[in-house]
Structure 1
Amino acid sequence: MTSEIHRWLQRDPDPSTRSELQQLLDRNDQQELEQRFSGRLAFGTAGLRGVVGAGPNRMNRLVIQETATGLAQYLLTQEVNARSRGVVIGYDGRPDSRQFAEDTAAALTAHGILVYLTVRVAPTPLVAFGVKHLNAAAGVVVTASHNPPQYNGFKVYWGNGAQIIPPHDTGIAKQIDAAAHSELSLMPLELAEENGLLTLLGNPFYEDYRQAQDRSALLSNHTTPEAISLAYTAMHGVGAEMAETLLKDAGFHQVYSVADQREPDGRFPTVNFPNPEEPGAMDLVIAEAAKHNATLAVANDPDADRLAVAARTPEGNYQMLTGDQVGVLLGHYLLSRTSASGALVGTTVVSSSLLQRIAHAAGARYYQTLTGFKWLTNMAMKHQTDECRFLFAYEEALGYTVGDLVWDKDGLSALVAFAQLTAELAGQGLTLWDRLESIYRQHGLHLNAQRSIALSPGTPPMGDALRASPPEQIGGEPITAITDLKQGTTEYRDGHQAQIDLPSSDVLIYQLASGDRVVVRPSGTEPKIKCYYEVVEAVQEKESLKQAQGRATSRMSELIASHQASLR
C-alpha cells in the first residue's frame, strides 16, 4: 500500500488533499489509510458518489480526472461522432463542485471532445434537458444531491438524455480502471476555448429550458393560479431561481421563499440532513407557509430533481404528502388532461400499485420497472410508440417526470404541474385531500410503508434463504403469487408460471390474497434487507375515510410486525 500512496501523492493535483494525505502518513494512521486505499469508489449506474477527501476511495480532483478520462475513452469507442456532439457538464453548489466540473472538462477536451459547461450552478434537470437539446453524446452533473455536506458525486447521462444503464456503467468503469494506471492528459480550459472545444452555457441555455417548460402542453393549465399560495424552499440548493421563475410564468404570484435557505450553500447550515424526506428538513418552509396561511409548503432537494409537498389540512395544519400520494395525484391529474388511451405512465416495483389501477381505469398503458429513475426513463423510451406516448412516471422517493422534455426526474416541472393541479381544484372549491379521498373511494385506500432490517454480520444471503424455503403466508394471509426478479418469473399458487420482462435483480414480491403486497430487497453489500409493504383497504360508501384509514393503519402494523418477526 505504501507505494500506492506515494504514487497517489505524485499524481494528485490538489495541494489540500496532498496535505491531508501527508498528515495521515505523518501520524501513521493505518486505519484511515486502509480505508482510503483499500479500493476505489465504485462507478455504477448512478455514477460516483462519496465523501470528499484524499485517496482513491474518496471524491477528489484526481478521482474526478481519472473518471472523466475513462468516460472520454469509453465514449470514443461507442459513439462515432462523440467528439463533435460533445458532453454537457453542470454542477451544484457544493464547495468542490465547480472545480470538479472544470477538471471533467479538462479531461474531455484533452481527448478532442467538445464540452458544453454551464457558467454557474445548474439544477440537475437542466443538464438532462441539455443533453437532448444540444444533441450531445453524454452529460455529467457534479452533485451529491441530498447527501450530507461532506459528500460529492459524478452523475452520467447517455446521449438519449437518461441516466446510464448497463452495459455503459461497466464499460465506463473498465476505462476508469485503465485511466487510474495511466498518465492523464488534461487541457487548460483557456486553450480548450481557443481551440473551439469549450462552449460556455450562459443565460440563453437556462432560458431555453425555461421556455421549453413554459410551452409544454402538460404545464398549460392556467386555471385560477391566484386561488392558491405557496411557501417554497430550495434547501440551500440550486433550484430557487428557476423554480420561482417557472411559477411566476405560470401565473403564481403568491410564492414565499424561505430566505435562509434560498441561496446555494453546500454547508447546508439550517438542516441536519438536506433531504426533504428527513424529519425536520421541512420545518422552515412549513413555518413560512403557516406565516402566510399558504395552501402548500413545497421543497426541492439541493439539486432540484426531487419535490416534496406538505398541504394545509382543513384544520389549518400542514401535513406531508408521501411520494406515492404526490405521484398518484399527478398521474391522475395528467391522465385527466390528455387522451388516456394514447398515454404511457409508469412506476417502480416498490412504489404504490394505485397508479396502475388509475391507468387501467382510464384506458392508459402502464409499465413497471426496477427501482431508480434510470430504469423508469430508459424503459419509457422502450415501451412508448407513435400511438402511445410517454406521459408521466414517478418513484416513491419523491422523484417525478412530467412529459419527455427531461428524461430524468425533474422537481421543477413537477412543482409547476402540482401547483396547477392544486389551483384547478381550488377553483372548484376542492382541496388535494378531497381529490385523494375520491381516488381512494374509487380504487381503494393504498397505504405504503418501508422498513429496513439489520441482520447479524455473516448472515447468509436472505434472498437465497427465502427462495430455498418460500413462505406460504405472511401475517396469516395466504400468498397468491411470488415474483422473483432474479429468476425473472412469477409463480402463482395455482401452479402456473409467467415470465417477467425486467432486468435481473435480487428482489422478491409477495402478493397476498387480500390484495396486500410485500416486497423484499436484500442488500448486496451489507447484512440488511429493505422491505416495502402495501395495504389496500376498500372505503365503504357510507363510512368516513378516517374509518378506512384506521383499519388500514392497524392492518399495516400487524403485517409489518408479523413479516419482520418471520425474517429474524
Structure 2
Amino acid sequence: MDTELVFKVKHWIDNDPDPRTRRELQALLDAGDETQLKQRFSGRLVFGTAGIRGVVGAGPMRMNRLVVQQTSAGVGLYLKQQVPDVAPRGVVIGYDGRHDSKQFARDAAAVLAAMGIKVYLTCEVAPTPLVAFGVTHLGAAAGIVVTASHNPPLYNGYKVYWGNGAQIIPPHDSGIAACIESAATGPVVMQELDNAIATKSLVMLETDFYEAYRQGVKTAGILQNHTRPDLVSLSYTAMHGVGAQMAETVLRDAGFNHLYSVADQREPDGDFPTVKFPNPEESGAMDRVIAEAKKHDAVLACANDPDADRFAVAVRRSGEAEYQMLTGDQVGVLLGHYLLTHSAEDQRFTCTTIVSSSLLSKVAASFNATCRTTLTGFKWLTNVGMSEQRDDNRFLFAYEEALGYTVGSMVWDKDGLSALLAFSQLTAELAASGKTIWNRLEEIYREHGFHLNAQVSIALQPDTPNIGAYLRETPPDSIAGRAIISVDDISCGLRRFADGRTETIELPNSDVLIYRLEGGGRVIVRPSGTEPKIKCYYEIVETMTDEDSLQSVQQRAQALMNEFISAHQQSLPQ
C-alpha cells in the first residue's frame, strides 16, 4: 500500500476522538483496502454556501467528529477575522434528530468555547428555522445547525448562518473554507462543556428559547388571520424529524384543533424506518399522512421534512376521497397571493428563484407589488430580500420550488412551520366563504394562465461537446417550434432580445441560460461543468378557456409539455 497514504491514515487515527471511526479506519488498514482508503483521503468535504454535507464515516471525506471539530475551528477563526465583537455576541448552535447530530453540535460548541467565543447551544433537538431565528433573536454573530435535512439516514451536515440570520453567501464560504484548511493542519483545542457552562462561555438554550419562537409566530402580523380555523381538519407528519412539537403547538395556538399526527412518524428517529427517503417530494413519502387524512376525512395532509424547514401538502379533491399533492410552485403562488391579499401597503416585497414558476411575478404585478428573481437557493432569496427591502416596501414572502417558503421576516431562511400555519389559515379563510384551495388555484390560473413546470436532468455522452459553449456559439432562434423572445446569459449578466437589444441582468454570474419563448414558455439550461450532464427547467403557459376545468387544462398542458421536452432534448448535441 502507498506509504504516504498509510501515513495520512495513521495520522488521522491518532487525532480522531471517536473510537468508532478509529476502528473503522484501522479495519480498512488491516484489510489492505487501498481503494476505500484512497476515497476517504482524496481530499476533504468541500465547505460551500450550504456548509458541508456527506455520508457519516471515518476520514476527511466523510462526516465525523474530527471533521466537525476542524470545521468549527475554521469557522471560529474566520469569525474572529471578520467580526470584531464575535466573542461576546457568540454563535447559536442547534441540531436535528440524526444519530450523530447531538455529538457533532457539542463538539462544535466545545471548539468555539475554547476559542473564547460565547456559545448558545440548544438543550435538545431543534427545527432548523429556530436556529436561524435564534441568530437575530439573540443578536449572535453567526449560527450553526447540524442537520442533513431530508437526505438519507447515512448522511449528516453542518450549515452556517451569518449574523443577519441568513445562510452565508460568497465570499464567506470561500473564506471559511480557507480557514478550515488552516485549522486542519494542527491539533484542535476543546473546552469541557461543564467548564464552559461554569465560566458562562456556554449558555444552554432551554424552554424559554423555544417559547420565544412560538410567541414570535403567535404575534407575527402576517399570521393574524384567524378566520374559522374550526372549519379545517388536517393530518400532519414530522417524517421522523424534529418538527412535530412546534408544528402542533403553533397550529393549536391559532385555533386548529382538528389535528391528527401520524404517530409512528412523530418522534425523531435517525433510521427513518417508515420511509425509503425522508423527503416529502419522493414517491411514497406522503403515503402515511395521506392515509391518516383519509381516516379522519381531513381537508389537508401536511408534512415537514426532518429538520422542518420545508413544507409539503396534499389537498382533498373537491367532492372526492382522494388527495392530490400540490407542487412547490403551486404552494408558493397560493401563499404569495394570499399574503399579498392581507399585507400592509408598506409590506409587498416578494422573491422567487430563476427556476421557480414565473407565476408569482405576475401575481405580484397584479397587486402592484414587487417580485425579485434570484439565483437558486434560499441563501440568495433571503439575502436579497433583506438587502433590497425598504421602509416603504418591506419584505413579505419568498419561495423556491423545492418546497421552501419563508413568511414575513422573523426567520431569514425557509421555515416549514410558519408556512404550515399560513397555508392552514388560507384554507380556513376559503372554507369560511365556501371555497377550497382548488377554487383559489383556478381563479389564479384563469387570471394569469395555467403554468406548468417540469425539471429534467439529461445525461449526455462523455464525448458530447460542452453544452453551454455549444449553445452560446450556435444560439438557437426557436425551441420546439416556438420563437425565442430573449435569452438571459447569467454567466456574463446580459439579456439579449430577438430584435438585437441588450440589457444588464443584476444577478451573480452563474453558468445558466434562460430562454423566454413566444406564448409564455420558458427553458432554463444549467450545464454541468464537471460531467456530461445538464439540468433543464421547462415552463408552459396555457390560457384557460370558459369551457376548461382544472383537469382539462392540466391534461392539455401536460401533453404539450411532453412534446416540448422531447423536441428540446432532440435539438441538443448528442
Q: TM-score range by the shorter chain?
A: over 0.9
Partner of residue 324 from structure 1, selected from 326, 329, 339: 329
SS of match in other structure, 1:347: strand
Residue 359 of structure 1: aligned partner:
364
Residue 242 of structure 1: aligned partner:
246
Partner of residue 526 from structure 2, selected from 504, 521, 535: 521
Residue 185 of structure 1: aligned partner:
189
How many matched pairs? 568
Aligned amino acid, residue 507 of structure 1: V
User: Offset at 1:340?
Assistant: 5.0
Residue 400 of structure 1: aligned partner:
405
User: Offset at 1:549?
Assistant: 2.2
Whether 1:92 aligns to 2:127 is no
Return the alpha-carbon distance in structure 2 between the equivalents of residues 521 and 363 of structure 1. 31
Aligned amino acid, residue 331 of structure 2: V
Whether 1:465 aligns to 2:458 is no
Aligned amino acid, residue 295 of structure 1: V
Q: Please give the per-residue CA displacement for 1:153-191, whole angstroms capped at 9, x wherever unaligned.
A: 000000000000000000000000001111211111111
Return the alpha-carbon distance in structure 2 between the equivalents of residues 455 and 553 of structure 1. 25
Whether 1:420 aligns to 2:425 is yes
Whether 1:129 aligns to 2:127 is no
Return the alpha-carbon distance in structure 1 between the equivalents of residues 485 and 60 of structure 2. 48
Partner of residue 300 from structure 1, selected from 304, 322, 334: 304
Return the alpha-carbon distance in structure 2 between the equivalents of residues 56 and 182 of structure 1. 14
User: Offset at 1:458?
Assistant: 5.0
Q: Please give the per-residue CA displacement for 1:497-554, whole angstroms capped at 9, x wherever unaligned.
A: 0100000111110001111000111223433211110000111234333332232111
With structure 2 as the length reference, what TM-score do the two structures score?
Answer: 0.98
Whether 1:18 aligns to 2:12 is no
Partner of residue 453 from structure 1, selected from 455, 458, 462: 458
Residue 438 of structure 1: aligned partner:
443
Return the alpha-carbon distance in structure 2 between the equivalents of residues 186 and 525 of structure 1. 38
Taking a change above 3 Å as real, the CA distance of residues 342 and 196 of structure 1, as seen in their structure-2 partners, is closer
Unaligned runs of 5+ in 1: none
Return the alpha-carbon distance in structure 1 between the equivalents of residues 20 and 554 of structure 2. 55
Return the alpha-carbon distance in structure 2 between the equivalents of residues 103 and 457 of structure 1. 43
Aligned amino acid, residue 155 of structure 2: Y
Between 550-559 and 22-31, report the one with greater CA deviation: 550-559
Contact 1:340/1:362, CA 8 A, preserved across alignment: no
User: Offset at 1:565?
Assistant: 1.5
Between 467-476 and 208-217, report the one with greater CA deviation: 467-476
RMSD of aligned Cα (Å):
0.9
**1:27-106 map, 5 Å:** 27-106=31-110
Contact 2:347/2:396, CA 8 A, preserved across alignment: no
User: Offset at 1:457?
Assistant: 3.1
Between 542-551 and 237-246, report the one with greater CA deviation: 542-551
Contact 1:341/1:364, CA 8 A, preserved across alignment: no
Contact 2:51/2:158, CA 8 A, preserved across alignment: yes
Q: Please give the per-residue CA displacement for 1:421-466, whole angstroms capped at 9, x wherever unaligned.
A: 0000001100000000000000000001111111223544321221
Whether 1:507 aligns to 2:512 is yes
**1:109-508 map, 5 Å:** 109-314=113-318, 315-339=320-344, 342-457=347-462, 459-508=464-513
Q: Please give the per-residue CA displacement for 1:63-90, whole angstroms capped at 9, x wherever unaligned.
A: 0000000000000000010000000000
Contact 2:353/2:400, CA 8 A, preserved across alignment: yes
User: Offset at 1:341?
Assistant: 6.2
Q: Please give the per-residue CA displacement for 1:122-166, whole angstroms capped at 9, x wherever unaligned.
A: 000000000000000000000000000000000000000000000
SS of match in other structure, 2:161: strand
SS of match in other structure, 1:514: helix
SS of match in other structure, 1:407: coil
Unaligned runs of 5+ in 2: none
SS of match in other structure, 1:288: helix
SS of match in other structure, 1:363: coil
User: Offset at 1:480?
Assistant: 1.1
Return the alpha-carbon distance in structure 2 between the equivalents of residues 303 and 546 of structure 1. 34
Aligned amino acid, residue 561 of structure 2: M
Whether 1:564 aligns to 2:569 is yes
The share of aligned pairs that are identical, in percent, is 63
Aligned amino acid, residue 212 of structure 1: G
SS of match in other structure, 1:413: helix
Aligned amino acid, residue 545 of structure 1: L
User: Offset at 1:304?
Assistant: 0.1
Contact 1:340/1:363, CA 8 A, preserved across alignment: no
Aligned amino acid, residue 201 of structure 1: L
Contact 1:157/1:163, CA 8 A, preserved across alignment: yes
Return the alpha-carbon distance in structure 2 between the equivalents of residues 526 and 210 of structure 1. 45
SS of match in other structure, 1:536: strand
Structure 1 runs of 4+ with >6 Å offset? none
With structure 1 as the length reference, what TM-score do the two structures score?
Answer: 0.99
